[in-house]
Amino acid sequence: MTLDIGRWVAYLLDAADRRAEVAAISGQTDGLSIDAAYDVQDALVAARVAAGDRVVGAKLGVTSEAKQRQMGIDQPVYGWLLESGRLPPGAGVVLDELIHPRCEPEIVFHMATDLGGPGVTAADVLAATAGVSGGIEIIDSRYERFRFTLPDVVADNTSAARFVVGSDVAGAGAVDLRLVECEFEIDGNTAATATGDALLGDPAECVALLANHLATRGGRIEAGWFVFAGALTDAVPLTPGSRVVARYSDLGDVEVHGV
């Protein structure tokens, strides 16, 4: 069965705009293959761009065991970062604009040059990277109870909502990203800790997967983009007044709070 892409794009855009969670798509159609879900995702982002937004980067999701266990999904997913989602370090995240936001500590690649697959390796990624920093992603699934199948979350642009890029940027070769330590702190208490190798063994490997994925769809990573390599730990709900700090060895601290 072919999927009515326009219908599901409108469905997900409407959920985000009304800040209302909706039923997963997979329960309502038998046409949601992973490929079709990426078609919905691309059309959804194209609709945002047509309305004045801009793609400023890309993201991976579900690249750590912690996230795979939390979400019940066993392979990485890829999505887009939009200019409208970018917040400065230390920002207050306006919770009324979102449905049920969660925060995640992430490693961010600042791309120097275009990078097209297939065959991209972690070494190619580092050669194409201007710098790396810490970050926090604020995800906000449009689906009820933050529950979905793999194609559902792909169609929903991998729950992308807001993101913060840390201001301490290290040279791509200056830090061994596999060894970066991250402490994720909520209201002064450590929620979780992880090292960079929690991301499929090497954060740069995740970015290589993204480049190779984009190649299958005729795309590439572009110079100037931010690439979020995926959450190092479980995502944590963001609530009014709560303060979330991701502390990274060599990459500084990144903070947000809920307002």
Q: Which does 128 bind (CB under 5 to 8 A by kind): ligand OOG, Mg ion, none?
A: none
Instruction: Fill in the per-residue mask, 15 to 44: x = in contact with Mg ion (CB under 5 A), - = not in contact.
Output: ------------------------------
- The closest of 199, 214, 230, 213 to 61, measured between CA atoms, is 230
Q: For helices 34-50 and 5-18, give the axis angle rounded to 10 degrees.
A: 60
Q: For binding to ligand OOG (CB under 6 A), which residues are involved?
A: 59, 61-62, 67, 71, 104, 137, 139, 141, 153, 158-159, 230-231, 235
Q: Which of 78, 102, 104, 211 binds Mg ion (CB under 5 A)?
A: 104
Tell me: does residue 137 bind Mg ion (CB under 5 A): yes
* Residue 190 DSSP SS3: strand
Tell me: does residue 251 bind Mg ion (CB under 5 A): no
- Burial code of 215-230, b = ≥16 C-beta within 10 A, e = fewer? beeebbbbeebbbbbb
Return the number of the residue (102 or 241) whose C-beta is nearest ligand OOG: 102
Return the number of the residue (77 or 170) whose C-beta is nearest ligand OOG: 77
Q: Give the shortest CB-5-to-ligand OOG separation in angstroms.
A: 20
The CA-CA-CA angle for residues 255, 207, 193, to 5°, reads 40
DSSP per-residue letters across 78-119: EEEEEGGGEE-TTPEE-GGGSSS-EEEEEEEEEESS-B--SS
Count of CB atoms situated within 10 Å of the CB of 5: 18
Sign, CA dihedral 67-68-70-73, equals positive
Instruction: Fill in the per-residue mask, 218 to 237: x = in contact with Mg ion (CB under 5 A), - = not in contact.
Output: -------------x------
Q: Give the shortest CB-46-to-ligand OOG separation in angstroms.
A: 20
**Which residue is nearest to ligand OOG, using beta carbons?**
61
The binding site for Mg ion (CB under 5 A) comprises: 104, 137, 231
